[in-house]
Amino acid sequence: MAASLKTRAFILSICILCLVLGAWELAQPNAKATGQLTEYELLTGGGAKQAAVPPPSEIIVKAWEELSNPFYDKGPNDKGIGIQIGYSLYRVLSGYFLAALIAIPIGFLIGMSPLMYRALDPFIQVLRPISPLAWMPLALFVIKDSQSSAIFVIFICSICPMLINTAFGVAGVRTDWVNVARTHELGVMRTAFQVILPAAAPTILTGMRISIGIAWLVIVAAEMLVGGTGIGYYVWNEWNNLDLTSVIFSIIVIGVVGMLLDAAFAKVQTAVRYQE
């Protein structure tokens, strides 16, 4: 029996990964054998003793060391990768769910009221293009706390995609469904929760899925700015230590955690889909 498309895609992905890692690993001795200095080596003064990019074998060893004891705590500047990710996830989820508490109700209001849409649309269009990190200096000045400022930046970057998608989903609910609810004399709240919310849920979840991806993207940059703890700080601290093996390992961890967050929301999004 022929393998399914999913199985063949998985096998092909593994083959591509092995090919890339193999070429990367084999390229390292050749680069060292030439004795030529890379631009990075010249800038750092490392000479031929410092490889420009560590091979996959070194990164795998580093990953084993970090993941075998991810929650160690040896002081403010030396914490395990598990603790760093925990701090980052706490900030992301705090700002994210705070944004959801505000964006989804306002999105409902905008979607159900053309008047509110016209009144609030100029504010949304002005705020949407602003980079979330542009708010960081103002947040640090007003809040005077790096962790709260990072949460505020996550709140800012999460709110627009959820608000816009919620408004779009609510406004796109079929008119005849709403008319049926009116025929049955359902109140505004029952219509919103029993008719509009289930119909708009896939679009709302799309906005939430986009927001969590942006939030995880932004928290890394925000933690590089504020320092202290978090996966972003971990990356920047390892770069300052000129430990490229740890930098590449942390980049992979960031990607894996982001993929898992997206996959979780994809599952929820699939669960709320419906066939008309």
Host domain of residue 102: 91-227
Q: Is residue 272 part of a domain?
A: no
Number of domains within the chain:
1
> Which residues are CB-neighbours of 146 under 8 A, at least 6 positions away?
140, 226, 227, 228
Q: Identify the pLDDT of residue 249.
A: 92
252 within a domain of the structure (yes/no): no
pLDDT in tens, 41-50: 544 554 444 4
* pLDDT, tens digit, 9 for 90 and up, residues 223-239: 988 877 889 889 988 88
User: Looking at the domain assignment, is residue 75 inside a domain?
Assistant: no
Angle at 91 between CA 87 and CA 95, to 5 degrees: 170
CATH number at residue 207: 1.10.3720.10
In the prediction, which pLDDT does 275 show? 63
Residues of the chain falling short of pLDDT 70? 1-3, 28-52, 177-179, 181, 184-187, 274-276
- Write down the pLDDT at residue 39: 45
Q: Is residue 215 part of a domain?
A: yes
Provide the sign of the torsion angle of the four alpha carbons 171, 156, 268, 263, taken in this order. positive
Residue 202 lies in a domain: yes
Q: Using a cut of 0.85, tell me whether the model's pTM lies above it.
A: no
What are the distances in angstroms from CA 92 to CA 193, 220, 236, 260, 266? 28, 10, 18, 14, 18
Is 3 among the domain residues? no
Q: Can you give the pLDDT at residue 113?
A: 84
Residue 82 lies in a domain: no
